[in-house]
Amino acid sequence: MINQIVQMASTTEENYLKALFNLANEKGEVNISELAHQLEVSMPTANSMVKTLQKSGSCIYEKYKPVVLTPKGKKEAALIVRKHRLTEMFLVTKMGFGWEEVHEIAEQVEHIHASKFFERMDEMMGYPTVDPHGSPIPDKQGRIQDLQFKSLSEAKPGQEVILAALSDSSTEFLEYLNSRKLTLGTELKIISKEAFDQSIVVNYLDSEKETLSQKVCEKLLVKIYESKNSSQ
Amino acid sequence: MINQIVQMASTTEENYLKALFNLANEKGEVNISELAHQLEVSMPTANSMVKTLQKSGSCIYEKYKPVVLTPKGKKEAALIVRKHRLTEMFLVTKMGFGWEEVHEIAEQVEHIHASKFFERMDEMMGYPTVDPHGSPIPDKQGRIQDLQFKSLSEAKPGQEVILAALSDSSTEFLEYLNSRKLTLGTELKIISKEAFDQSIVVNYLDSEKETLSQKVCEKLLVKIYESKNSSQ
DNA sequence: TAAATTTGTTAGAATAATCTAACATTATAC
DNA sequence: GTATAATGTTAGATTATTCTAACAAATTTA
Ligand SMILES: [Mn+2]
Ligand SMILES: [Mn+2]
Ligand SMILES: [Mn+2]
Ligand SMILES: [Mn+2]
């Protein structure tokens, strides 16, 4: 038989693939319990869907072992992430949304099956490589670049850095950053670091001075821009 | 109990509501068989979904009688049509798509639940009142204007008309119109009408001359612009 | 290592959306 | 006005997605 119909992944399956992809990138392995937690479903539900994804060749799964995406599954997931991030960027740069408003909309738009739509977005934006939160946009083949920024919590007093990405893009964190006028591209100079609680005092936008807790610093990914009194 | 959760219509239910709305606007009444045909499902499937929609208060249905949308159902449907038509207009005016490419994309985008998204489109376009095919865009309350254009097949030789809308927006028909350079807003002068087959010879764009079959004329909705040798 | 906790699985059930086959009602044609 | 055709309904089944309850395996703690 030649014309066996290959069924498209449903919206539900796509959300599972994306969750597996994102969890694997953060933590390496993916347990059923993490997956279930991420998607806010029960463990039996996640367990059952993983079996379904295995049948369609998107992941490999053995009882009591962590779930592993196949190359096919990885590519499927990366292309959904691509649509998600292109959408977020389009909403911010072409439609005037704030970076804290776009994730929920993109969570729905990413499931639209219309490559022309996303290609046109891409073209209109001049082929951006990162989304509004600094995360890389996979290419059309599903390849994703590893930007490996450092966390601000690793920076030392005297260093100058540029805020390049976030490891948490929750609305609450984005609103916190808005309230401090912290946007991607902001140059930060590390004034001092408190040994007791690892909080950092930074100087940015030529005038402001701000104390950032360790919790916040861990979520801010930076490029080291210039260094004073540094061992390098 | 105060906090009874009112379940949102699923994508499937939304497509049924829209089909009921569109069929009712074209033909007045809606039979199960028409509904089933429109949605490409079996009659038992349509029958069963109509019962579901009745339970949720969106339509009224009695065995063997035509289906009637309630005011609630009409409003729900009109708001989906609104999202569909705003999307089509956005794709054409802001993203450079052709009018023959947008329906399929809008068929998916219309199910996105994010009023901000559609309000922003609306705002960016300056609150358009019609879609790229000349169909009216319902307002935020779900009210829809009746533009009642005439069909070109009703026009008489000597009259000048403006192409204002289409009663068929299929890709095939739109591609036919593209090939003849017929766009909305085009002024057409009716040169003559063939009594035998009701075909019409028209003149437009200052130079072109074209014969349009009755089948085509019926699908072209026009505003009568000026009249020569007319009884009015 | 034994107990306790966490993690994972199976079984069984529910709801949504769909189908086919069989039967029933209504409308149309002769 | 009966026969035929069209339309509509019911029953019963299937697949997808989800749940809870009960049990099993693996890991952590003491
Ligand atoms: Mn996002
Ligand atoms: Mn999603
Ligand atoms: Mn359309
Ligand atoms: Mn649709």
> Does residue A222 have a pLDDT over 90?
yes
Question: 3.40.50.300, 3.20.20.70, 1.10.3720.10, 1.10.10.10: which CATH number matches B11-69?
Answer: 1.10.10.10
Long-range contacts of A60-68 (CB under 8 A, 24+ apart): A66/A29, A66/A30, A66/A31, A67/A20, A67/A30, A67/A31, A67/A32, A67/A35, A68/A24, A68/A29, A68/A30
Q: What is the pLDDT of residue B3?
A: 54
Q: Quick: pLDDT tens for A202-220.
A: 999 887 789 999 999 999 9
**Which of B84, B100, B116 would you mutate first to test chain A, the one with the most A CBs within 10 A?**
B116
Stated as kind and residue range, the H or E segment containing B204 is strand B200-204
Question: Within chain A, which residue ranges are assigned CATH 2.30.30.90?
Answer: 150-224
Mean pLDDT, to the nearest integer, of A22-46?
A: 95
> Does residue B229 have a pLDDT over 70?
no
Q: Quick: pLDDT tens for B45-95.
A: 999 999 999 999 999 999 999 999 999 999 999 999 999 999 999 999 999
Q: What is the pLDDT of residue A27?
A: 85
For residue A23, how far is its CA from the centre of ligand 2 (angstroms)? 15
Q: What is the pLDDT of residue A231?
A: 42
CA pair distance B24, B38, nearest whole angstrom:
12
CA pair distance B220, B97, nearest whole angstrom:
21
Round the average pLDDT of chain A to a whole number and report it: 94
* Strand D contacted by A62 CB (< 7 A): no
Nucleotides of strand C within 7 Å of the protein's CB atoms: 6-12, 16-22, 25-26
**Which of B102, B111, B120, B171 would you mutate first to test chain A, the one with the most A CBs within 10 A?**
B120
Q: What is the pLDDT of residue A225?
A: 75
Task: Inform me whether the C-beta atom of residue B109 falls under 8 Å from chain A C-beta atoms.
Answer: yes
CA pair distance A172, A177, nearest whole angstrom:
9
CA pair distance A227, B49, nearest whole angstrom:
67
Question: Considering the entire predicted model, what is its pTM?
Answer: 0.93
Q: Are strands A187-193 and A160-166 parallel, antiparallel or unpaired?
A: antiparallel
Q: What is the CATH number of domain A150-224?
A: 2.30.30.90
| Count of beta carbons in the 10 Å neighbourhood of residue B211 | 12
Question: Within chain B, which residue ranges are assigned CATH 1.10.10.10?
Answer: 11-69
Q: Quick: pLDDT tens for A105-157.
A: 999 999 999 999 999 999 999 999 999 999 999 999 999 999 889 999 999 99
**Residue A34, CA: closest nucleotide via C1'?**
C7
